[in-house]
Each structure stands twice: as C-alpha cells, then as structure tokens.
Amino acid sequence: MFDQNSPEIKVALDAVRKASQLVRLVQTKTFASALTKGDKSPVTIADFASQGLVAHLLSQQFPTTALVGEEASDALKAPGAEKLLEQVTEYVGRFVPGTTADSVCYWIDRGAAAPAERFWTIDPIDGTKGFIRGDQYAVALALVENGLVQIGVLGCPNLTEARTSEPGGPGSLVIAVRGQGTWLNTIEGFDPGAWRQIRVSPQAAPAQARLLRSFESGHTNVSQIDEFADQLGVQAEPVRMDSQAKYAVLAAGEGEIILRLLSPKQPDYREKIWDQAAGSLVLEEAGGRITDLDGKPLDFTSGRILVNNRGVLATNGLLHDKALQALAAISA
C-alpha cells in the first residue's frame, strides 16, 4: 500500500478529485462555449477552471515547487472573453470561496513555469474532444523529480472501475507511486479505506492483444496502426477510447497495447510532458512498460516537450518486444 500520509500524495489526490468533480459539473451543464487554440484543439471552461483549481491547491502546500501546465490565461483576458472568464471564475469559486477573476488568471498562469529538478505537471483535461462529446477524458497530474515521475494521478470521471465507460457513474481515481504500485478508488463516494491495487493483463499472445485506439486521429497515423496490427498478427477487436484514461484501462488489464505513431501531417510532432507523465507511471507501477517508438525510455528532463522521443508505445510488458519488432518491420 502507498503512504496515504505523504503530503505530496494527499494534495495530489485532493486536487485531482476536486478538479474531476469540477469538470464533470461543467460537462453536465453542456456548455458549448469553447475557444480554439493555435493548434486547433478546443479549450473549454473546464480546462481553464481545472488548471486554476489544481494550481491553487498545489500552491497552498508547495508554493515553491514549479508547475508545468497546458493552459495560459491570455485567451481569458482577450476582448470578448469576459463571459468566459466570469464562468471560469464562478466554477473555481465553488471549490475556493472568494475566487476572483484576477486570482484565477494568476493561478492558471502558475503553469507557465519551466521544468526544474522537482516539478508538478498538469493536463487539466486530457482528451478535450472526448469531454465535449460527453465521452472519456482525464485530469492528469504528476510529480517529477530529477527526470523520474514519482507520483502519477489520473481522474477519469466517466470511467468506472478503470474498465467501463459510464458517464454519470462513480468515476475512477487512479494513483501510482514509484515503487508502491498502482491503486484504484472512486471519485464520487471516495473512501480512503477502499483502495484496490490493479495490474496489467497477463496476455502474452499477440493475436489476442487488444489495441486501445483513439477516436481522434490528429496526432497519429491510422493506416500505419492497421499495418502494425497486421504485422503483429492481432485478431482481437480494438478498444476505442480517448485520453490518458487509456493508461488507466491498460493498467487495469482491459487492454494490452497503446500506440502514438506520428501523423504524416505532423511528422515532427513531439509529445508534451503533461500528456504522458502521469499515465506512464500508472502503467509502469501496474507492471506494464512504456517507451517511444524506438524503444527508448521517455525523457522527462528535456523541457515541456519530449524532444528526445518519437511517439509512444505502451504495453502490458509481455508484448513490448514483439510490438517493437512489428514497428521496426513496418518502418523498414
């Protein structure tokens, strides 16, 4: 069992659970309001509010520890965004009484820090398009020290038992602590005495490998994933799911392989640290393995972007070497 009395663990769990409740609340209000960032991905009220809330809660306990986050408040301060800022402030204020527009922008912008020897990294909503569809998304928080993820927490409000899609269900709160395993609880009705350890699938036969494939295809190569499946001899039906919720599902044994190949439209794309940090430890501590497409470990010392890695391969461990061989074959 992990140390529930650790200050870092306590604040990480509290922050992710509250942020998950906040974004679920926004989702139930079915807000259509969204902005468009430079990379064309939608940014919702929930993205901003989630990052602001998490940043504030972390700063209360660890004011000098850097936070590396996805969002910045510039869009909220732009002309015409007054209503959006008002809504973000209102939602954060439900969890932090006395929140003002200035304070929420300040908290969001704490995420602009550069990675240091010790830092937190937050993806306030990983899988924003899934969130907008009312499907899977995750709040992802990690603590990184000297390039190693020490704590990874995923809040998946629409995922039950880290296995089943259930919008409106109890949700899944997943934590991994280096050397102490991966553990599952619920977001709603959270009970600190109800943690249950989860493990990856024992499936070693490539034909039975279930690929966790995204609905969205912007950062991957769909046709090459098909080639990979053929090369590996996969016959099992894939599991369709967006966001780092896939890592929770893989850690719980409901799939065997996740691939992030490079899209031909974005051959130079590199992963952001907040897209992989929490999920990578959740998988590893459950017995799985994660590397880039060349078999190299993910390098969290290179700044906000994983510039030293190409794509991602995550597996239950037993199938990793065969998956790397299949990747090499289709790239030859």
Residues annotated catalytic, as ranges? 47, 128
pLDDT at residue number 21: 97
Angle among Cα 257, 151, 181 to the nearest 5 degrees reads: 60
Question: Could you write out the DSSP letters of every residue in 4-35?
Answer: TT-HHHHHHHHHHHHHHHHHHHHHHTT---EE
Domains by residue range for the chain, with CATH: 7-197 (3.30.540.10), 206-331 (3.40.190.80)
> Length of the chain, please?
332
pLDDT at residue number 28: 82
pLDDT at residue number 36: 62
The residues with which 143 forms a beta bridge, in sequence order, are 120, 151
pTM of the model: 0.95
Would you give per-residue pLDDT tens digits along the chain (332 residues)? 999 999 999 999 999 999 999 999 998 875 545 566 655 455 789 999 999 999 999 999 999 999 999 999 999 999 999 999 999 999 999 999 999 999 999 999 999 999 999 999 999 999 988 888 889 999 999 999 999 999 999 999 999 999 999 999 999 999 999 999 999 999 999 999 999 999 999 999 999 999 998 876 555 566 789 999 999 999 999 998 889 999 999 999 999 999 999 888 888 999 999 999 999 999 999 999 999 999 999 999 999 999 999 999 999 999 999 999 999 999 86
CA 148/CA 132 separation, integer angstroms: 32
Question: Could you write out the DSSP letters of every residue in 219-272?
Answer: TS-HHHHHHHHHHHT--SPPEE--STHHHHHHHTTS-SEEEEPPPTT-TT---B
CA 85/CA 55 separation, integer angstroms: 17
